[in-house]
Amino acid sequence: MVFLKVNFGGFVPLSTVDWRGRAVCTVFLRGCPVRCHYCQNAALQDGTDEREIGDVLAMVKESSLLVSGVVFSGGEATMQKEALLALAEGVQAMDLGVGLQTNGVYPATIRALLERRLVDKVSLDLKTQWRHYNNLLKEDFADRVKESLRLCTAAHHAGRLPEFEAVVTTFRGCEDDIAYIAKDAEGIDLVLQQGVIAGVAPLDFEELAAVADRLGRSVRIRTRQDGEVAYEGRRIVRAESIIEQERRSER
């Protein structure tokens, strides 16, 4: 493992936003075949900075007294399958949790992580409804992401993946996609994340809440202004209030 190289993208020694409820460190890996025009880490899509696995784990070790987990992000961390597996094994050996932020285009890597019980949380980026997927990404990635969603959902329901969430970066004008995506994300946490792109006003919390209200389910809303908020939905809350009123009247 010491001699295995990883294309390294960066390191954040302490983060309280990359894993809900945990202080973690975040390891970024370079390389990504997807070219989203709104990518916040576009500088990590290409380039080379080869490091030994042992050197990256040493960075994690220095933070291990302050954190309870490590999140791997990118770029696209699953693009480097063997390096990611080795890093996850090293992190687990330190008794730290392993988190992954991924676009899902390398399901074989995700399958290996799940089969070896090397991941505790997966945040899967779902970009649009399936019929628009390949047009948005300019390549035939939809089936790969569907497989990643299937693998993670099955593992989560079987208890082999403790935490799993689908993250939808939501832009003005694309709100109608959310209902289609939510159908495929039934039974798992759904995060509506504020998308930010030059020249387009981002959706604020209230606008994202209005989108969530049409889904009839609880979601998490993530914005730069308000952070992440668990949102039950005004319609859900009102419906629950009516039911409770009816129950009280029957007593």
What per-residue confidence (pLDDT) applies to 77?
97
For the record, the structure tokens of 219 come out as: 């979601």
Q: Identify which of 151, 185, 147, 180 has the alpha carbon closest to the alpha carbon of residue 166.
A: 185
What per-residue confidence (pLDDT) applies to 136?
81
Give the model confidence (pLDDT) of 201-215 as tens digits: 999 999 999 999 999
Give the model confidence (pLDDT) of 217-233 as tens digits: 999 999 999 999 999 97
Domains parsed from the chain with CATH numbers: 5-191 (3.20.20.70)
CB 191 within 8 A of CB 216: no
Residue 117 has pLDDT above 50, yes or no: yes
What per-residue confidence (pLDDT) applies to 106?
97
Q: How far apart are CA 181 and CA 167, in angstroms?
A: 10
pTM for the model stands at 0.89
